[in-house]
Amino acid sequence: MDTSFFNGTLSPREFSLASSAFADKWRRFNPTFPSWTWVPCKKLPWAPSDEVEGYLKLENVCLPGSSKVDSEGGSCVGKEETSCSDNEDLIDNATLVQSSHHEVHYYDFHIVYNASYRVPVLYFRAYCSDGQPLLLDEIEKDLPACSAKLLLESKWTFISQEEHPYLNRPWYKVHPCGTSEWMKLLALGDAVQAKNGVSIEQYLVSWLSVVGQVVGLKIPLEMLNDS
């Protein structure tokens, strides 16, 4: 994918290829963390017949909410706080932010293709150990400080709740507006990509390195370097 023609978007077929490559890389560089898996789906009514339908999922990931979880020997993944500083944007192992609560919260993440914007969209939901769903105000307390501040300033435009396109149930999503523009900037700002073009296989890695920070989900640094 030549950067001179790269507009920051993906076709449905490219999204499918990018998803497969991303899931493989995640397992290879992050074997101790839950895996992203591809969920094949029935074609949506308006989708062309040649489109590959499905989405990526990462589910049952828990956010350790307090020292109580640690003392009880909880098996929650990731206990390192996130940061929005440039120097700490990327770390060697995938982590999720630590909540300030005493209750462990579980998160499901789905990466779904949006045909209107032609970019991936991060859908997510959160719930307690008893399955009780969390409201946005409760989720806000789990978010990195920078995301919580942005959410407070632009609620329902930055993160909004809408029906999951495949599950027909309400999920939260990080709005895709502007995704194609900053994906183009990422490509131009990377010396390797600027020279060799943007790899479809690397698209979701670059994308999640930005979008994942919104919810405190980070990717292994090695995934970004493996282009």
Residue among 143, 161, 149 nearest 96 (CA):
143
Name beta bridge partners: 2: none
Catalytic residues: 177
Residue among 183, 178, 176, 174 nearest 216 (CA):
174
Residue among 176, 37, 198 nearest 118 (CA):
176
H-helix or E-strand spanning residue 174: strand 170-174
Structure tokens at 184: 């183009």
Alpha carbon distance 10, 119 (integer Å): 6
The answer to whether the beta carbons of residues 96 and 104 sit under 8 Å apart is no
Alpha carbon distance 205, 203 (integer Å): 5
Residue among 157, 93, 164 nearest 123 (CA):
164
Three-state DSSP at 134 gives: coil
